[in-house]
Structure 1
Amino acid sequence: MPDDPTQATETFDTAERTMWAGRADAYAASFALLCAHPVERLLDAGEVNAGTYVLDVGTGTGTAALAALARGARVRAVDADAGMVAAARAAGVEAQVAVLPELPFPDGQFDVVLGNFVINHVGRPRAALAELRRVLKPGGRIALTLWGARRGAGQELFGRAFAAAGAVVPEDLHRLDPAEDFGRTADGFAELLTEAGFADAEAVELEWDHRTTVDEWWSGPAAGVATAGLIVTSQEEGTLVRIRQEYARLAGEFAAGEHELALPHIALLACGRAR
């Protein structure tokens, strides 16, 4: 990791952009289905209703934005990846490319800001939160989800397969600068919002079983999606074959019917209001 904090942040953000580029379809067919689980809870925490003016940051393929539209909200959306924006637009979302911590909106424009698994993908989470607070009206709501320190057994599946297959984790795998990190617990997440100027900040853990299949769940990493995808696609052919075999073996622990898996997951949901 670079010694200079600014360089470390830029390296993280650049790696994130590269990791998602050109993978909107693969994401939509795999991890987007997982990330859809907390969306209704996210909207409830943001108090999204008919007429609410919502900004969905890191919209991806538009799942949260579409759910807000279904409630009768007015919605704008942004994502750092042009392919994700194109997918969201094709689904009917008014989306544009924008990269946190800079948004192309005036101060105090929105009633609610939503971010479904976004803060974990920015190199400067505190600066990102300051920008989200800037575009909120006084008293406006923020609601965010995040993968926390406590993980469900389903979240460990790929890591166990990598270890069993002897996979080599790339040395240049990007990690957040420790100076920018924060407690990945409910208390730590709420404290982060409070530090960023949000009042009444609170956070809770969410738990659910993600229903998928062996092939569907494998398709994301196989296409290079997310950190698991970076590890999978960096392996030699023989190691890749072993990973696939170990993954299929271990996935049997989560069988829920003839073809389905039930993968336990845990995430954090935080909310607050702009001062």
Structure 2
Amino acid sequence: MDLVISMDRMPEVGETVQGREMHTVPGGKGANQAAGCARLGTDTVMIGAVGSDLFGKQLLDNMKKQGVQTEAIAVHDDTGTGIASIYHTREDNCIVIVPGANDRCTAEWVEKNRKLIEEADVMLTQLEIPLPAVERALTLAREAGVVTVLNPAPARPLPAELLAKVDYLTPNETEFALLAGTEAETEAELEAAMQSWQEKYGTRVIVTRGKDGCSFLNEEGRLATVPSLKVEVVDTTGAGDTLNAAFCCKLAAGSAIPEAVDYAVRAASLSVTKFGAQQGLPTPEEIERTYK
């Protein structure tokens, strides 16, 4: 669950500032991404865990309302539902996560639900659950010939054997700098880092760049960037989750990378025009209108 505090500016270290308002809204990267896929009309199943508290009930009810299949979301009595405290201004946000029941989404729970992964077209995962669960999900998907997408957030170093099981890596610039061990300050440096990564792991890298859009390597191995739409920004929370959801929906539909990235950027651009990660999720019709 997201606990969102809106403010005019971020506080400095040791400083107290007055916020404008606080909202409690459904969230979590996995939940946002699953809801985004379902909103875009794709059959979506989520493997996860919540507590048996009020937040857990609200999240499950919301997932069902969004059209996400929830039979693989475990409910635990002995731990609380994971929360994210989100501090946001009109320009940016920062987030503190308390995992709670997310830590109960174990490799064993993933294994128990392996059939759901094996029957998928695309398997999208992120790092708000234990790393062994992520690795098991990637292994099962790879063995079944399912396309794998890893959104490496929250950022952390990852073992090479895990990265080798990823077809598409979707970091933001900060996350990619941590993983690659180098901070790209120019377009040429970003291109070189992405080329090096692709050669090392055989993984396509899709780097999200906030208001600057999203970059990938084209068929010639050169950097290509799809710019964000010019919109009035209300809340950037969940924009990356929306992008991941839309990108995976297009992959599942058989789209080529340039088309999938373009669609994903349009979806993410629309998402920031509304408040809340899931409230801002666009519909296919809303995205389609941006092409006209």
Please report the TM-score for the alignment, with normalisation by the length of structure 2.
0.34
TM-score (norm 1): 0.36
* Higher-strand-fraction structure: 1
Structure with more contact order per residue of length (Cα contacts < 8 Å, sep ≥ 6): 1
